[in-house]
Amino acid sequence: MNTRLVRFGLAATIATAFATPVFAQVAVAPPVQPVVQADTQRNVDQQQRIESGLQSGQLTTREAGKLEQGEARIDKMESNADRNGRVSAAEQARITKAQDRESTAIRNQKHDAQTGDPSSASSQRMQADVQRNVAQQGRIEQGEKSGQLTTREAGSLERGQARTNRAQAAVAANGHVTAGEQSRIQKRENHQSARIYDKKHNAKVA
């Protein structure tokens, strides 16, 4: 009987020794800061305003492209700030200021004399691309709120969003998005979509 107890105790000790590092590994990922979540929510809002401007004809394809360039700059700023897992007050102030400028730019472009044709093939393609931006940013935001994404992971994904937005701005610069150009944009978006999925479903948790 004593021999059985000794064996059982030894097995329990070994199991505990192997289990402890697993728990420690889960606990190391820093949580996403509330300011990072707020920034991503604002990204969603800004992209939705661009989309609605295209749909209403308040924005031309070229104007939407310019605004996407501004969104790309903001995404890159967020990525740089998130890189070390902690956004400082100074970094947050710069991001907020850039978002405020972009908000003003959206309002000005939507209320100037230029109008677009929402039914044109070019506008339809741009609308689809911006709608994908809304969806991708929404998935990042959901990952932040659920704890599936850490601050660093969110920053990495924002860098990917910046690349996609710059590509959209480039093809829209002449006011016309071709089917071939949209196909190349969609490949970027599909790659980003896969990255979002992978980072939300890896072993890291916030």
Q: Which domain holds residue 58?
A: 33-200
State pTM to two decimals. 0.84
Residue type, 144: E
The total of structural domains in the chain comes to 1
The yes-or-no verdict on residue 18 having pLDDT over 70 is: no
Is 9 domain-assigned? no
Using only C-alpha atoms, what is the Rg of the chain?
22
Instruction: Give the span between the Cα atoms of 70 and 62, in whole angstroms.
Output: 13
The yes-or-no verdict on residue 117 having pLDDT over 50 is: yes
**From 29-38, 85-94, 171-180, the region with the lowest mean pLDDT:** 29-38
Q: At 112, is the secondary structure helix, strand, or coil?
A: coil
Q: At 31, is the secondary structure helix, strand, or coil?
A: coil
The yes-or-no verdict on residue 13 having pLDDT over 60 is: no
The yes-or-no verdict on residue 206 having pLDDT over 80 is: no
Is 25 domain-assigned? no
The yes-or-no verdict on residue 6 having pLDDT over 50 is: no
**C-alpha distances out from residue 159 to 22, 28, 108, Å:** 30, 23, 26
How many CA atoms, within 13 angstroms, populate the side-chain half-sphere of residue 183?
A: 3
Q: How much is the pLDDT for 9?
A: 54
Q: How much is the pLDDT for 150?
A: 95
Is 28 domain-assigned? no
Is 105 domain-assigned? yes
CB 147 within 8 A of CB 206: yes
Is 113 domain-assigned? yes
Is 79 domain-assigned? yes
Name the CA dihedral angle for 96, 97, 99, 104, rounded to a multiple of 10 degrees: 140
Is 109 domain-assigned? yes
Is 110 domain-assigned? yes
State pLDDT tens for residues 48-104.
Answer: 999 999 999 999 999 999 999 999 999 999 999 999 999 999 999 999 999 999 999
The yes-or-no verdict on residue 26 having pLDDT over 80 is: no
Q: How much is the pLDDT for 24?
A: 44
